[in-house]
Amino acid sequence: MSHNTLLVFEVTILVLAIFLGFEVISKVPTLLHTPLMSGTNAIHGIVIVGAMIVLGVDHKDAFTWVIGFVAVVLASANVVGGFVVTDRMLEMFKKREPPQRDE
Amino acid sequence: MSSNTANLLYLITIVTFILALRDLSNPASARRGVQIGAAGMMLAVVVTWIRIGTTSWWAIALGMLLGGGFGAVAARKVHMTAMPQMVALFNGVGGGAATLIALDELHRILPPPGAPKVDISLAIVLSALIGAISFAGSMVAFAKLQELIQGRPITYSGQQFVNGALFLAALGCGLALVSGVQQQWLLWVLVGLALLFGVLFVLPIGGADMPVVISLLNAFTGLAVAASGFELENNVLIVSGMLVGASGTLLTLMMGRAMNRSIANVLFSAFGQIQDGGAAAAAAGADGGSVRSASAEDVAVMLAYAHKVVFVPGYGLAVAQAQHDVRQLADLLEGKGVEVSYAIHPVAGRMPGHMNVLLAEANVPYDELHELDEANGEFPRTDVAVVVGANDVVNPDARNNQGSPIYGMPILNVDDAQAVVVLKRSMNPGFAGIENPLFYNPKTVMLFGDAKDSIDKLIADVKNL
């Protein structure tokens, strides 16, 4: 595929993703704003893939080593921290049994 | 693994992210959404690893162990009250990663005869710029929420001008790079300017507005990641990044709407600055400025003999971790035949939904949590409204005082109740730094002290009645 064909394809999916992003969360209740923010925060942790790619190239110099390594560290923190924080927030919604009255 | 196979597997990841976002919009399925998203992320990492092969596998593993370990420990250890700043922190490092990828990519392709295509250099410039702003801004938001620096807006004259100049200078560096000037230092200068801009951009924004800012910076990081996707020609980065960019933008707008303020107002008005003497004095002193304080015994009697009590939780409840105690007091009152409910303001606490999370932890039944409009309909027939560490969300200035910075924000009209009890540490103004005439209202009594201690005293006194 030529570079320009690929670019047009990429722009196409980019624009579709914009609409999808708006559409998929359009009916979120207020109480889920924070967990949703945290969840999207975890999802952009996908930058880990980019960090792995730059650190994984052959024939790299010291600069690429260091910068790529730090990028992997930061991106991993984003992924793991993002998912754990979101899960902890939502952990609190899980129990739905009626409250016991102990009085 | 061929690149086609990899892209098909990446498509699965994309689908899991879309399902995750959809599930996160509903309380019943939210948790499953996170698990689906995490599984998709895992798949993307494994696929990428197989594609890279053995090149520097140990460095990648070590980096993941360090970063992931830090993320896991920090996210596990932190108290529920500190969640907002953790979101800021993890958002910032994501933006930082996007910036570093851009620096690395330019460094890799630039040595002659390398000449990046226009779209690639544009993507590099954008991801470096937006990622750096998000990184620096998030770190300032983190520092403000963690109270490492003061939460109040920090302003100086000519601020907007300085910020504008910085941004234009960064943009200038970017334009030079895109138009074909092959100098790596330009990107470094751009990143430096963007970092400075990120800091100065968030500094003048008050601590109470940080959730909206974090949400906006979250969308920024998404955009930076999408740009990284263009520079690495990687679909999963483009789509996932843009999904976050778009949904994050919409979420930011929704949060602004919940506060009845435009995003521009949040970002540029230095909200919560110490006001000009006139407005503040008029707000505070108008009712004669006397504050009535009550003992726990008095309040216990008020509560036990009321027909209807509404609890209004705020950040003070979160800080004192008093949610279980409030629940216990509510059960005790219900045992005495008092009707109890909770009024939840959309922006009570430091994040929308903050109070719902805490009260759900204490197993408060869902149907007792009433949102703004419903709660406001109930206050006129409420005997006692108990404000537990909330302040700005019950400030009548938002209704009456046009000079107040929160004028126009929908509030809980607790002053419609027969009596108001405010549990508060001291007379210090709230997070937004605004005086609250509710405390001077003749209907109001103050019960000073840590929310948890006060509630525990009330529980003991109600039991003794």
In tens, the pLDDT along B2-33 reads 889 999 999 999 999 999 999 998 878 889 99
The answer, yes or no, to whether residue A8 has pLDDT greater than 80, is yes
- CA dist B304 and B71 (Å) reads 46
Does residue B240 share a domain with residue B135? Answer: yes
C-beta atoms of A72 and B67 within 8 A:
yes
Cβ-based neighbours of B131, under 8 Å, separated by 6 or more: B95, B96, B97, B98, B99, B102, B220, B221, B224, B228
Strands B419-424 and B444-448: parallel
Does residue B264 share a domain with residue B238? Answer: yes
Average pLDDT over residues B310-330: 87
pLDDT of A98 reads: 44
Q: Give the residue from A8, A26, A32, A41 with the most B CB atoms within 10 Å of its CB, the best one to mutate.
A: A41
Edge to edge, the sheet with strand B444-448 lists B369-371, B339-344, B308-313, B384-388, B419-424, B444-448
Residue B364 pLDDT grade (very low, low, confident, very high; cuts 50, 70, 90): confident
Does residue B305 share a domain with residue B165? Answer: no
Check: CB of residue B95 under 8 Å from CB of residue B87: no
Does residue B227 share a domain with residue B119? Answer: yes
- CA dist A55 and B370 (Å) reads 51
Does residue B164 share a domain with residue B50? Answer: no
Average pLDDT over residues B370-374: 87
Of the three residues B268, B303, B334, the one that is the final residue of a domain is B268
C-beta atoms of B67 and A86 within 8 A:
no
Of the three residues B36, B57, B77, the one that is the final residue of a domain is B77
A66 touches chain B (CB under 8 A): no
Looking at chain B, the whole-number percentage of residues with pLDDT higher than 90 is 45
Q: Which two tokens stand for residue B87?
A: 């979101």
Check: CB of residue B114 under 8 Å from CB of residue B240: no
Does residue B71 share a domain with residue B57? Answer: yes
pLDDT of B287 reads: 42
Cβ-based neighbours of B245, under 8 Å, separated by 6 or more: A18, A21, B219, B220, B222, B223, B226
Residue B100 pLDDT grade (very low, low, confident, very high; cuts 50, 70, 90): very high
Average pLDDT over residues A23-43: 86
Residue B285 pLDDT grade (very low, low, confident, very high; cuts 50, 70, 90): very low
The CATH number assigned to the domain holding B456 equals 3.40.50.1220
Model pLDDT for residues B230-279, shown as the tens digit of each residue: 999 999 999 999 999 999 999 999 888 777 678 888 888 766 554 443 34
* Domain of B104, in residue numbers: 80-268
Residue B128 pLDDT grade (very low, low, confident, very high; cuts 50, 70, 90): very high
pLDDT of B464 reads: 83
- Lowest average pLDDT, out of A4-18, B132-146, B271-285, goes to B271-285
Does residue B286 share a domain with residue B431? Answer: yes
Higher pLDDT, B282 or B15: B15
3-class state of residue B369 by DSSP: strand
The answer, yes or no, to whether residue A94 has pLDDT greater than 70, is no
Does residue B61 share a domain with residue B139? Answer: no
Does residue B147 share a domain with residue B36? Answer: no
- The beta-strand segments (E) located in B235-331 are 308-313
Residue A46 pLDDT grade (very low, low, confident, very high; cuts 50, 70, 90): very high
Q: Which two tokens stand for residue B156?
A: 């100086």
pTM across the whole model = 0.76
pLDDT of B426 reads: 74
- Lowest average pLDDT, out of B283-297, B361-375, B437-451, goes to B283-297
CA distance A60 to chain B (A): 8
Average pLDDT over residues A20-32: 83
Of the three residues B77, B103, B121, the one that is the final residue of a domain is B77
CA distances from B241 to A47, B46, B237 (A): 8, 19, 6
Q: Which two tokens stand for residue B7?
A: 């892209």
Q: Using an 8 Å CB-CB cutoff, list chain A residues near B358.
A: 92
Residues 2-61 of A with CB under 8 A from B: 3, 6-7, 10, 13-14, 17-22, 24-58, 60
Does residue B286 share a domain with residue B255? Answer: no
- CA dist B8 and B431 (Å) reads 49
3-class state of residue B353 by DSSP: coil
Does residue B354 share a domain with residue B401? Answer: yes
Does residue B380 share a domain with residue B336? Answer: yes
Provide DSSP, B194-254.
HHHHHHHHHTTS-GGGHHHHHHHHHHHHHHHHHHHHHHHT-HHHHHHHHHHHHHHHHHHHH
- Closest of B139, B168, B10, B146 to residue B131, by C-alpha: B139
pLDDT of B294 reads: 81
Cβ-based neighbours of B397, under 8 Å, separated by 6 or more: B283, B404, B406, B407, B434, B435, B436, B437
A1 touches chain B (CB under 8 A): no
Q: How many domains does chain B have?
A: 3
Q: Which two tokens stand for residue B400?
A: 């009456």
Cβ-based neighbours of B215, under 8 Å, separated by 6 or more: A33, A37, B248, B251, B252, B255
C-beta atoms of A72 and B352 within 8 A:
no
Check: CB of residue B23 under 8 Å from CB of residue A36: no
